[in-house]
Structure 1
Amino acid sequence: MQLWYNRRPKILPSKASNQRDDKNLTMLSKQDIDDRILVQEHFAQEHLPQQMGSAEIEQYKSRIRQLLKEKDACLVAHYYTDDLIQQLADETGGCVSDSLEMARFGSRHPASTLIVAGVRFMGETAKILNPEKRILMPTLEATCSLDIGCPADEFSAFCDQYPDHEVVVYANTSAAVKARADWVVTSSIALKVVEYLADQGKKIIWAPDKHLGEYVRKETGAEMILWDGSCIVHEEFKAKGILDLKRVYPDAAVLVHPESPDAVVQIADAVGSTSQLIKAAHDLPNETFIVATDRGIFYKMQQAAPGKRFLEAPTGGSGATCRSCAHCPWMAMNGLDNIVAALEHGVDEIHVDAELARRALKPLQRMLDFSAS
């Protein structure tokens, strides 16, 4: 897998737009959408899994191992989930990966039930790709600010204004938004897909992450209109804080996920998806890394590069709030206790409307076919 190391951007077309015109929102205003994100974020913070002692943790892990066998189930976890969940997925023959590999793995694995530890769009994607399988999640309340920030009706109306554009949406979106798209991408293949489209002279609508979209736009020179969404974790990384930390650790390499603001991307030694950043941690000769993405990734980074030191990139700067921590509150809702509940009682099962799934499958399958080629 190729890393997205910073490189000289191509010349941008003069007509490219990098902002959504909020006056075109005919249903929910930008403030309405932002308020929804804040409410859901508060809900997540109030419904985190219970803290456990070591003996209780082992009891839950033992019970999950038993239930996975009894239910013909497999645990699929994202890099941003708790270390204990990632460890358990590894130990039980499951998968710990990014969104793209999670999608691939679920389709390949013979288990009749997948329990997807992550956020809701990941469970929906698993169901769309595997309609015959039962898809459970530790909690259906685990969502994503990018998903909330791109309501399907508003996005569809936005797209209708640009009928000559290809619609490319990030995986961090609802099934309804995917159904409106021509392409779905993850951060690991976004550059290649947009480069492919730009080479054909296609104009692009990109949603929902404006920072990732701007990074892709600069790197490819594609003519893109960007939806105004962002990840509440990556949005908080500040270039000044990272540079201040770099003065303390001058030999540290800075690893940045492209959902981060442009000022942060510009000071990175390596820019890439979660899998690409883990590879950079292994490949680069540095012994210390400042990491600008969710701290859940440290579990796999430490496995890939034992003996190396990983530091959380500062968030929020001075006067930081409880929001300013490098961990997604919705990923944090996944716990051993609600994995047990899901497996024992079949609660928090993902269902996707059949017609919606049929339409969303087309851009998802296009993503998988493109990545395979």
Structure 2
Amino acid sequence: MTAQAIELVRQHLDGIQAVDELDSAQREKYRTRIKQLLKARNAVLVAHYYTDPEIQSLAEETGGCVADSLEMARFGKEHPASTLVVAGVRFMGETAKILSPEKRILMPTLEATCSLDLGCPADEFSAFCDQHPDRTVVVYANTSAAVKARADWVVTSSIAVELIEHLDRQGEKILWAPDRHLGDYVARQTGADVLCWDSACIVHEEFKARGVLELKEAWPDAAVLVHPESPAAMVDIADVVGSTSQLIKAAVELPNQTFIVATDRGIFYKMQQLAPGKRFLEAPTAGSGAECRSCAHCPWMAMNGLENMCTVLESDDGAGQEVFVDPAMAEQALVPLNRMLEFGKSLKR
């Protein structure tokens, strides 16, 4: 990661405002009010698996969507609501706006960003692409609208391997951004010629293979589920490597009763909901002497709360948390996004 990107990540982490803890009465008050406001605003709530369980359950109860970024994009585009409330991080709100320019896109806070997005500044990335004009540019969904606009394809982890296999069969060489771990994973899985941008997720990069192996000693029958944004050492010891939706599917279908899960702990809500009799353990992110054995939670995802969501919905102007994307940039970014959605559909046929 460049010095500029590292500094951007540090500044954003320093500026994070934690969501206030609410008691049960406050939570119920906000939940009731949000349900009323969603109806009044002709709005639907779209939440990522990594948000707080309180947010995920609210999305389910109100006819919204809890999903990975690909399914969030599909759902928001196809839903008839005139307003989408996107609980996640900023690139997800931008993607929703690009795919549904006629809709109003609100987020509980626009300050919720992503280290992968921050780690791939559009100007530096564009210069990198210019240095390799012979390569097909594939960018992960966890990027800004400006980076997507520079790409040939957008991809999510759920279809990354299949897409790179497809492009490799066409004889194309790949320029991949921003996550080097996911880029390394797809390169190893496909044998494709993949040149990676140097960035990583601050959560997934911290998972420790040695810690997982130590945990396996206590739970020898546990299956290890790993998101491919994790380092290669973690991928190599995994029983299943996959996107959030793929890991949830594995938790339901595998016969194991215990799972060590190497991704954001927000995913436990859906895993426990769909496999209630099973045990889920957070994969360690630190050594045995550390204060935090596992810090497996994105600090920006944690900025989505009931209180700020309610504030946004109550305000006629969205309390300054409406997502806007330059129309010309959105038009450019729509091309690789639509390619992603169409390719994803083809895999389901």
Is TM more than 0.5 here?
Answer: yes
Aligned to 1:38: 10
CA distance 1:323–1:104, change in 2 (3 Å)? farther
Aligned to 1:3: none
Aligned counterpart for 1:333 among listed residues 303, 311, 329: 303
Aligned to 1:193: 163
Aligned to 2:115: 145
Aligned to 2:345: 372
Deviation at 1:48, TM superposition (A): 1.4
CA distance 1:368–1:287, change in 2 (3 Å)? same
Aligned to 1:160: 130
1:220 to 2:202 alignment = no
Aligned to 1:180: 150
Deviation at 1:357, TM superposition (A): 0.1
Aligned to 1:14: none
Aligned counterpart for 1:350 among listed residues 323, 327, 333: 323
Task: Give, in whole Å, the separation in 2 of the partners of 1:263 and 1:59.
Answer: 45
Query: SS of the counterpart of 1:85?
Result: helix
Task: Give, in whole Å, the separation in 1 of the partners of 2:146 and 2:294.
Answer: 30
Task: Select the structure with the greater relative contact order (CA < 8 A; seq sep ≥ 6).
Answer: 1
Preserved CA contact (<8 Å) 1:121 1:172: yes
Preserved CA contact (<8 Å) 2:282 2:294: no
Counterpart residue identity of residue 40, structure 1: H
CA distance 1:321–1:190, change in 2 (3 Å)? farther
Residue-by-residue CA offset, 1:280-313 (whole Å, 9 max, x unaligned): 0001000000000000000000111111000000
Query: SS of the counterpart of 1:52?
Result: coil
Preserved CA contact (<8 Å) 2:287 2:293: no
Deviation at 1:32, TM superposition (A): 2.4
Deviation at 1:73, TM superposition (A): 0.4
Preserved CA contact (<8 Å) 1:233 1:324: no
Aligned counterpart for 1:286 among listed residues 242, 245, 256: 256
Counterpart mapping for 1:66-81 below 5 A: 66-81=36-51
Query: SS of the counterpart of 2:224?
Result: strand
Residue-by-residue CA offset, 1:248-286 (whole Å, 9 max, x unaligned): 000000000000000000000000000000000001000
Counterpart residue identity of residue 85, structure 1: I
Deviation at 1:322, TM superposition (A): 6.3
Counterpart residue identity of residue 41, structure 1: L
CA distance 1:357–1:201, change in 2 (3 Å)? same
Task: Give, in whole Å, the separation in 1 of the partners of 2:10 and 2:215.
Answer: 29
Counterpart residue identity of residue 326, structure 2: D
Aligned counterpart for 2:85 among listed residues 115, 118, 124: 115
Deviation at 1:66, TM superposition (A): 0.3
Task: Give, in whole Å, the separation in 2 of the partners of 1:182 and 1:241.
Answer: 38
Deviation at 1:192, TM superposition (A): 0.6
Q: CA RMSD in A?
A: 1.1
Preserved CA contact (<8 Å) 2:286 2:292: no
Task: Give, in whole Å, the separation in 2 of the partners of 1:185 and 1:98.
Answer: 12
Task: Give, in whole Å, the separation in 2 of the partners of 1:161 and 1:324.
Answer: 39
Residue-by-residue CA offset, 1:29-82 (whole Å, 9 max, x unaligned): 8122112112212222xx111111001100000000000000000000000000
Task: Give, in whole Å, the separation in 2 of the partners of 1:98 and 1:178.
Answer: 18
CA distance 1:129–1:155, change in 2 (3 Å)? same
Task: Give, in whole Å, the separation in 2 of the partners of 1:339 and 1:122.
Answer: 16
Aligned counterpart for 2:240 among listed residues 270, 274, 281: 270
Preserved CA contact (<8 Å) 1:123 1:136: yes
Aligned counterpart for 1:240 among listed residues 210, 225, 229: 210
CA distance 1:322–1:124, change in 2 (3 Å)? farther
The TM-score with structure 1 as length reference comes to: 0.91
Listed as ranges, the gaps of 5+ residues in structure 2 are none
CA distance 1:317–1:323, change in 2 (3 Å)? closer
Residue-by-residue CA offset, 1:318-371 (whole Å, 9 max, x unaligned): 454669600000000000001001111112000000000000000000000110
Task: Give, in whole Å, the separation in 1 of the partners of 2:255 and 2:293.
Answer: 33
Query: SS of the counterpart of 2:261?
Result: strand
Counterpart residue identity of residue 5, structure 2: I
Counterpart residue identity of residue 56, structure 1: Q
Query: SS of the counterpart of 1:138?
Result: coil
Aligned counterpart for 1:361 among listed residues 317, 334, 340: 334
Deviation at 1:113, TM superposition (A): 0.2
Aligned to 2:20: 50
Preserved CA contact (<8 Å) 2:227 2:243: yes
